[in-house]
Amino acid sequence: MEEKKLNEQESLELITRMINQTKKETAVGSGNVFLVWGYLCTFLSLAVVAMTLLTRNGGWGWLYIAIPLVGFTIAGVLSGRMNKKYKNPGTYQAKSIGAVWACLSGVFAAYAAFCILHWSQPDAWTGMFLLGLLLPGIGTYCTGVILKEWSLQLCGFIGAFTGVQFLFEICTKGMAITIKWPVVMAIAMIIALVIPGHILNYKAKKAN
């Protein structure tokens, strides 16, 4: 059977439908996932700040270990429910977004494993904090690019910029993590994850 050739107008309409479908699928599934990670990182960062100021003990920074343990558990449950509710293979764009976040999660997990293997070198954990600032913003920015949502791109860029600033101070000052950085982490997560999560949920509600 001979394939029908699309003219320019039909091609644009097809691309537009694909993008809109991707926005709908991604917003329905990932808005809550953004919120889970965003609020979890924000609240734990504020908890670290509060407990450090109350006890004058920097050891409360180890609370951050709970983020991947709790986050991946809740996100896995949410993803399972969404896959069960929306039984479709998904669009290419949706799969691309999933691949981006899977890649970033893999980088984070690989570095975490490396730090565990070198437990006697506590300074290595500073890199975990750096990745925690950088990766969510990068993932949100890439999601915004794929969905052609400028608001997500802006939030992702601002979130990732805090990680760049942290990297600069490490390289130029050789600093340890001070009390200001958990505060910056909380703000960055609100910008890079919480706000985009609410945007995606709003888009999903509007699309349906």
> Which pLDDT does position 171 carry in this prediction?
84
pLDDT band at 50 (very low <50, low <70, confident <90, very high): very high
Q: What is the pLDDT of residues 10-36, one digit of tens each?
A: 566 666 666 666 555 555 556 888 999
What is the rounded distance in angstroms from the CA atom of residue 41 to the CA atom of residue 133?
A: 10
pLDDT band at 183 (very low <50, low <70, confident <90, very high): very high
Give the whole-number percent of the chain exceeding pLDDT 90: 37
DSSP 88: S
Mean pLDDT over 140-164 rounds to 93
Q: Is the pLDDT of residue 1 over 50?
A: no
- Indicate the pTM of the whole model: 0.80
Closest CA to 36 of 194, 196, 182, 143: 194
Q: Is the pLDDT of residue 121 over 60?
A: yes
Residue 183's SS3 state is helix
What is the rounded distance in angstroms from the CA atom of residue 100 to the CA atom of residue 143?
A: 8
Q: Output 4 or 186, whichever has higher pLDDT.
A: 186
Cβ-contact 159, 136 below 8 angstroms: yes
pLDDT band at 156 (very low <50, low <70, confident <90, very high): very high
pLDDT band at 135 (very low <50, low <70, confident <90, very high): very high
Mean pLDDT over 124-129 rounds to 86
Contacts of 101 (CB under 8 A, 6+ apart): 139, 143
> Which pLDDT does position 23 carry in this prediction?
57
